A = this chain, B = another copy of it.
């Protein structure tokens, strides 16, 4: 069955039309007005109904396909994916994730030191050996329980204050300094906790930890941050959605 959804467009809004359309459909899916397996209106009909050009309409639909909420099949049509949808992984910090989940994260800065980079760190940050970098180690907790141990390295020029790092996430602190993170590459693995990690995270030595190392880039393609995070396996996981295009 093809459901038609009433959509109001605000043509004078700075929000792109394709985005308004995509959001309206996303909301309809999340609210259950469009059900899993429902056939979607075809592009031409939708474009006509909304008084939009086909490319604009198409882009709106593609947005949701990329998010893993719709699937399209050439010659057949577009359908809503058959499963309750979670939020896709976004380029936000753990701090943001938790704040959104209402878990009230707290951060304690354990180490904060600026000095010449080791060869390894300089390589990861793509800086000349010996450049000044900030190393910060933080313990993130939520609900009174330790959650993650985070070690990050940044070019000294971008170093946020220690206060900022306790009050907000690293990315938020960078944003307020005009640094916009556009890209992150992550490597996710597992390891056994060493003695210090165990102590700080309130786990036993050799307890399984979920580890993530991340390199973040700004909108000029420069490396802004390199970090190693260790999460308590009992309290954290990553979600990813992969789309074949």
Contact = CB atoms under 8 A, between A and B. Distances in A.
A81 B183 contact: yes
B237 A189 contact: yes
B181 A244 contact: yes
A132 to B, nearest CB: 18
Contact of A183 (B71, B91, B223): B71
Nearest to A208: B208
A76 B237 CA distance: 37
A59 to B, nearest CB: 11
A90 B223 contact: no
Nearest to A88: B185
A57 to B, nearest CB: 15
A239 B55 CA distance: 33
Interface in A133-147: none
Interface in A197-218: 206-211, 215, 217-218
Interface residues of A, number: 57
Contacts of A238: 187-189, 240
Contacts of A190: 190, 208-211, 231, 233
Given A91-B244, A233-B189, A240-B188, A217 B183 contact: no
Count this chain's copies in the assembly.
Answer: 2
A239 B208 contact: no
A185 B241 contact: yes
Contacts of A195: none
Interface string A55-90: 100000000000010111100100111110010011
A112 interface: no
Q: List 9 A-B pairs, minimum CB-CB distance, nearest first.
A: A189-B237, A208-B208, A190-B233, A190-B190, A190-B210, A81-B221, A91-B244, A190-B208, A188-B238
27 contacts: A68-B183, A71-B182, A81-B217, A82-B217, A83-B215, A86-B185, A89-B242, A91-B244, A183-B242, A185-B241, A185-B242, A186-B240, A186-B242, A187-B238, A187-B239, A188-B237, A188-B238, A189-B210, A189-B236, A190-B231, A190-B233, A191-B208, A191-B233, A206-B208, A208-B208, A210-B210, A240-B240
